[in-house]
Chains A and B, each alone.
Chain A
Amino acid sequence: MSDTITVNGTANPLPDDPRVSLLDFLRHDIGLTGTKKGCDHGQCGACTVIVNGIRINSCLTLAAMHEGDSVTTIEGLGTPDEPSALQRAFLEHDGFQCGYCTPGQICSATAMLEEIAAGWPSDASESLEGHIVTSREEIRERMSGNICRCGAYANIVAAIEEVAAGGQS
């Protein structure tokens, strides 16, 4: 049994205090401050990270519960020199104003495109079993867990739409 948690490919020891949320672990314990704390109560999505390929709110889970898991944060998706397709699209479409929600938006959108590729329906899907058309309505519903206080939604959706249409993420 490993007593570590892997973040962006690097193994880190688990915190001693079981109270440490995955979010505080990322920000305080290992200094990856890209992931943001908005509400700390599962309501805003600023803390969204990808754990074993699945997006979750890192504020509502304990680091101790993720022993052996593999976490990807915004720092793991790309770099300023080599941004991911979504990171580049957010820049090109001005998908932010203050930028506070942006890491969560991009982590969320990255996993969302995988969910669509896997055929997972959403509340906005006409059929539960049919092909999913990545419409604006679908993107809005699937991204509804990421609140943007600045209201940059139009450009966020445009950025995601472009990457979805390009078939890359």
Chain B
Amino acid sequence: MRPFQYIRAPSLSETSKLTAGEDALAIAGGTNLLDLMKLQVETPALLADINRLGFSEIEDTDDGGLRLGALATNTETAVHPRVRADYPVLARAILAGATQQLRNKATNGGNLCQRTRCFYFTNIDQPCNKREPGSGCGAIDGIAKLHAVLGTSDQCIATYPGDMAVALSALGAVVQISGDKGERSVPVRDFHLLPGDTPWIENVLEAGEIITGIILPAPVGGTQIYRKVRERSSYAFALVSVAAIIELTDGKFSRADLAFGGLAHKPWHDPRVEEVLLGQHPSDALIDKAADILLEDARGYGENDFKIPLTRRTLRAVLTQATEDAA
């Protein structure tokens, strides 16, 4: 690990000042950042420890929703009575990620900002446009089993690896951000960016901006499912995951909020998929049509070709289970 200056951030505004510099980063749980610092993928000159800034509460909002503090741990979030009762898709997504030890330390803010698990990104001897702009992408034509099939660019085909944000996307949650210029709110669906020509920019946070919380809208009920397909039954990143909130009225889909993990540089949400389902009776043909739309522009890179049929099958399994549960 390269030497760095460690400062316990005294206040939010001070944190923004401290982390506005190019070589400075905030540290929350540290479970992603310290891992990458040991690999010298991240080499900050200054670490601002934000753990004692206080925004770790989970509290009701005025409109019946729930505010998750950015510093609340993944565990505190998943076991919170209201998360379990009103947002089970979120509790399930968190519990499907990492291990209990990691979730006990990982924070909600850090989870949103976690970096890709691309093997070339984490190995400083390999080319990677995300880590070292202009050095090339090792994964295209290389080891790409975990990589994206949607929204890729010729610069980067990495995935956002997390689970929690996939459920947050399906739920339509909003990220609260604080910085030098004040506060702003960004829907989770717009928080992460596609790689394009700037794969090193992964989300909308600007220098010095800190996530303070995540707002969940008032509960919508429905059948909520988080289905994570991975290479072993626990403790592995998703190959494909589906977060679904499904409701049937008179036997027809009246709600079909869906988001997908493992497919892209961000949790994938495609409103066209919901549109084709809404108002229709569930059937294999309808689900196939939804998958056709979802995967219309999907492209494999050899090793990850399997993700395209796997996504179709996982979507079918989830929608079939949801319609059976809802019926």
Q: Which residues of A contact B (CB under 8 A)?
A: 17-19, 21, 40-42, 45, 48, 54-57, 60-62, 64-65, 108, 112, 115, 118-123, 128-129, 140-142, 144-145
Q: Could you say which of B6, B88, B101, B234 contacts A56, with CB atoms under 8 Å apart?
A: B101
A62 and B105 contact, CB distance less than 8 A: no
User: Known contacts being A18-B47, A62-B6, A128-B88, is A145 close to B101, with CB within 8 Å?
Assistant: yes
Q: Is the pair A145, B235 in contact by a Cβ cutoff of 8 Å?
A: yes
Which 10 residue pairs are nearest across A and B when measured between Cβ atoms? A145-B99, A18-B6, A144-B234, A128-B84, A144-B235, A123-B95, A56-B105, A120-B79, A145-B101, A60-B31
Within 8 A of A (CB), among B64-123: 75, 78-79, 81, 84-85, 88, 91-92, 95-96, 98-102, 104-105
Query: Which A residues touch B35, using CB under 8 A?
Result: 41-42, 60
Judge if B53 is at the interface, Cβ distance under 8 Å. Answer: no
B99 A18 Cβ-Cβ under 8 A? no
CB distance from B28 to the nearest CB of A (A): 10
Closest to A108 in B: B101
Is there contact, CB below 8 Å, between A141 and B234?
yes
Chain B count of residues within 8 A CB distance of the other chain: 36
- CB-CB under 8 A from B30, the residues of chain A are 60-62, 65
Kindly list chain B residues whose C-beta atoms are within 8 Å of the C-beta of A144.
99, 234-235
Which of A21, A65, A128, A142 is within 8 Å of B100, CB to CB? A142
Given contacts A41-B35, A65-B49, contact A122 B100 (CB under 8 A): yes
Task: Please tell me if the beta carbons of B95 and A55 are within 8 angstroms of each other in the complex.
Answer: no
CA–CA, A41 and B104, complex, Å: 16
Contacts of A118 in B (CB 8 A): 79
In the bound complex, how far is the Cα of B162 from the Cα of A44, in angstroms? 19
Q: Could you say which residues of chain A place their CB within 8 Å of the CB of B105? A: 56-57, 60-61
B1 part of interface (Cβ distance < 8 Å): yes
- A115–B100 CB distance below 8 A: yes
A122 contact set on B, CB distance < 8 A:
95, 100
Shortest Cβ distance from A41 into B: residue: B35
B3 touches A55 (CB 8 A): no
Q: Known contacts being A55-B101, A60-B30, is A120 close to B75, with CB within 8 Å?
A: yes
Give chain A residues whose Cβ lies under 8 Å from the Cβ of B27: 62, 65
Q: When the two chains form their complex, are residues A121 and B91 in contact, meaning their CB atoms are under 8 A apart?
A: yes
Contact present for A112 and B79 (CB under 8 Å): no
A79→B235 CA distance, assembly (Å): 32
Judging by beta carbons under 8 Å apart, are A42 and B102 in contact? Answer: yes
Q: With an 8 A cutoff between CB atoms, is B51 at the interface?
A: yes
| Of B5, B85, B88, B234, the contact of A18 (CB 8 Å cutoff) | B5
Partner of B1, one of A19, A54, A61, A108: A19
B140 within 8 A of A: no
Give the complex CA separation of A55 and B38 in angstroms: 22
Chain B 1-15 against A: per-residue CB contact (8 Å), 1 yes, 0 no? 101111000000000
Indicate if the CB atoms of A57 and B92 lie closer than 8 Å: no
Does B207 interact with chain A (Cβ within 8 Å)? no
Contact (A54, B104) CB under 8 Å given A21-B34, A60-B31, A65-B27: yes
A121 CB, nearest partner CB in chain B, Å: 7
Q: Is A60's CB under 8 angstroms from B34's CB?
A: yes
Q: Report the minimum CB–CB distance from A55 to chain B (whole Å).
A: 5
Chain A residues positioned under 8 Å from B75 (CB to CB): 54, 120
Chain B residues, CB < 8 A from A55: 100-101, 104
Give the CA-CA distance A128 to B88 in the complex, in Å.
8
| Cβ contact within 8 Å between B96 and A45 | no
Residues of A with C-beta under 8 A to B51: 65
In the assembled complex, 18 residue pairs joining A and B whose CB atoms fall closer than 8 Å, in A order, are A21-B34, A40-B38, A56-B101, A60-B30, A60-B35, A61-B30, A64-B6, A65-B27, A65-B49, A119-B79, A121-B78, A121-B79, A121-B84, A123-B96, A128-B84, A129-B85, A144-B235, A145-B101
In the bound complex, residues from chain B placing their C-beta under 8 Å from that of A19 are: 1, 3-4
For residue A140, which residues in chain B have a CB less than 8 angstroms away from its CB? 234
| Contact between A57 and B84, CB atoms less than 8 A apart | no
